[in-house]
Structure 1
Amino acid sequence: MTTTKLSNPTTKHDLCVYEWNDTFNDEATKPEKLVCIFHGAGGRGLQFEKTCEILAKNHPDWHFVTFDQVGHGGSFSSDISYQWSDFEFDSLYSNAEFIVNHFRNKYQQKDHKIELCIAAHSVGSGLAMRYCINHRDIVSKLILLGTKPEAPGKSPVWVFPSLFLELIRGVFSASFAKLAYHESTPIEVKEAESEHTKNNTMYMMKAICTQLIWPTQEEIATIKVKTLVISGETDGLTQPERGKVVHELIENSQFCIIEGASHNMMIEKPSILAEKIEQFFIANEQ
């Protein structure tokens, strides 16, 4: 895995990017190469680390990319006073669009054809669907994890001031864990993720969840690329039945459920997720 920082000139955000099997400078690259860009839940790209490691090992000719959204993981800076506007849907979308177009353009500059796939989870799935709607002829495959036909994260708790939300963060986190993890998920897995997300302030989470502009069902139905919708068996945040609705809206799509997992399936069952993605890619080779 390699780690770099890219700066989006539109939002002025420095974004931390992770890559596996980076070969776009390799003159021996095949005429067409699969490039898959992941967008993690809430914005932490390394939630997909184990899944990407498995896929990269099995398919050294596939290029995998994931990144941290503004204020998350390696894209967080203690020197920045983040503004409400940093987490508007349009700002998050601009960052995702910038990353996708950055790698797409790098291959084009080398005259290397690519098969572009976007794999996105939760909030990221809305950004990915919007990209497919805006750029209909660019994406070859789409994977939507923990998605639903309406914006996730809607909760009456967001009416409270951010300062109060920080005071009750422990209660909020405990409630989130019940909805986001399967009962069989080891406590150490939950604790590790909690440590990774300690810089995710309630101010940021409130700003993201209250400013989501989700594609309408009519818009989602216009997506025509080969799509795989994956839900966690006991997901309490984006319930499997809501994921199935997205599948039914997208004409050229498949739907599956990962048993023993919930909303954070890529942390709970990374090897099974890798297997599902691998099967989807191979079965739908162009």
Structure 2
Amino acid sequence: MPKADPNRFAHLPLVRGQLIDVRPGRRLSVAVHQGNRDTVVFLGHGSGGNKDQWRELWRNLSEQGYTLVAWDLLGHGDSDKPRDASAYAWDELVADNLAVLKRYAGPRNLYVAHSYGTGLAMSTLLALPRQQPALRIDGALLLGSVLHRPVGTGGLLSLPNWLLTLLRPILAKDFRARAWHPEADPALVDYEDGLAQRNRLDVFKALMNNAQWPDAQALAGLDVPVYVVSGETDGLTPASGGEALARHLPNAHYQVLPCGHQLMLERPEQVLQAFERLAAHC
């Protein structure tokens, strides 16, 4: 299998941000593109990801005049990376999301999220009426989402960080096999795998141990239009889980794409089409 040409990705990252105090003691790298339409699109990545994974959608939507906001979760990308596991508590991450939405929301707002970020997005949307009643999200696109909390790496998450570090090559190989479609561009896979090596395993461990996926019954109150899109060979958030999620949402549409877990990187054109259908529906 051919290796990535390093020059091919020399222009990246495309989605560049700046550190912003979104809440006291919480500094996130936030990228903003100011468009000429009344719609703001919020882009939330998943565990182990970064805001530049939205680069294809960012390029297309900026050309269409949307205002775009993407951020690195705490512990990711260019955001601060505290070592205290309590910094990654679910409620803290949801509060970060609420702060970002409040700061940048416009007359019309759409939320696009991936993987772990979809759980945070759903919890954020459920919290809005109580914590930010004046703020409305008009629709959401959830990529690689599931109904129930994704299972991490089982008993491995109970191991000490130093041992996880020793096991990292095995964990990375397993992630690669489960996350990408067998026919995914090997250069893209190599590039993204290289970025993932910079992620701290203690952050991933804290995220998975602190995850509190929204309760399935609570989702009945999420009445905004939601498009759920799954990858047919996704070994991390299986398509069956995405289909189950769509069945529990009162206003959902469901689609499966011929790809793995990294939908917006493997099938950017089809993800863009799903977004455009959502935007037209809202």
- State the alpha-carbon separation in 2 of the partners of residues 172 and 197 from structure 1: 11
Which of 267, 277, 280 is matched with 1:279 structurally? 277
Report what 1:67 is aligned to.
Answer: 71
Report what 2:98 is aligned to.
Answer: 97
- State the alpha-carbon separation in 2 of the partners of residues 92 and 215 from structure 1: 13
1:267 Cα shift?
1.6
Structure 1 residue ranges without an equivalent (≥5): 24-28, 108-113
Which of 47, 50, 54 is matched with 2:56 structurally? 50
Aligned 1:101-140 pairs, distance under 5 A: 101-104=102-105, 107=106, 114-136=107-129, 138-140=136-138
Summarize deviations over 1:156-193 as a string: whole Å, max 9, x none.
Answer: 22121111011010100110111110000122111111
Which of 3, 9, 16 is matched with 2:29 structurally? 16
Contact 1:73 1:197 in 2 (8 A): no
Q: Secondary structure at the match of 1:256?
A: strand
1:52 Cα shift?
1.5
Summarize deviations over 1:175-234 as a string: whole Å, max 9, x none.
Answer: 011111000012211111122223211111111001101111001121100110010111
Report what 1:6 is aligned to.
Answer: 20
Aligned 1:1-286 pairs, distance under 5 A: 3-10=17-24, 12-20=25-33, 22-23=34-35, 33-42=38-47, 43-57=49-63, 59-60=64-65, 62-76=66-80, 81-104=82-105, 107=106, 114-136=107-129, 138-154=136-152, 155-259=154-258, 261-282=259-280, 284-285=281-282
Q: Secondary structure at the match of 1:37?
A: strand
Summarize deviations over 1:116-168 as a string: whole Å, max 9, x none.
Answer: 11111111111111111111461110111111111114322212111101101
Contact 1:55 1:278 in 2 (8 A): no
- State the alpha-carbon separation in 2 of the partners of residues 211 and 248 from structure 1: 26
Between stretches 131-140 and 40-49, larger displacement belongs to: 131-140
Contact 1:48 1:270 in 2 (8 A): no
- State the alpha-carbon separation in 1 of the partners of residues 265 and 93 from structure 2: 22
Contact 1:73 1:196 in 2 (8 A): no
Contact 1:47 1:266 in 2 (8 A): yes
Q: Secondary structure at the match of 1:203?
A: helix
Contact 1:229 1:255 in 2 (8 A): yes
Identity %: 22
Contact 2:225 2:278 in 1 (8 A): no
Contact 2:139 2:278 in 1 (8 A): no
Contact 1:3 1:18 in 2 (8 A): yes
Q: Secondary structure at the match of 1:200?
A: coil
Between stretches 162-171 and 186-195, larger displacement belongs to: 186-195
RMSD: 1.7
Deviation beyond 6 Å, 4+ runs, structure 1: none
Contact 1:182 1:262 in 2 (8 A): yes
Structure 2 residue ranges without an equivalent (≥5): 1-14
1:76 Cα shift?
4.5
> Structure 1 counterpart of 2:273, which letter?
E
Number of equivalent positions: 261
Contact 2:20 2:27 in 1 (8 A): yes
Q: Secondary structure at the match of 1:173?
A: helix
- State the alpha-carbon separation in 2 of the partners of residues 115 and 216 from structure 1: 27
Contact 1:8 1:98 in 2 (8 A): yes
Q: Secondary structure at the match of 2:193?
A: helix
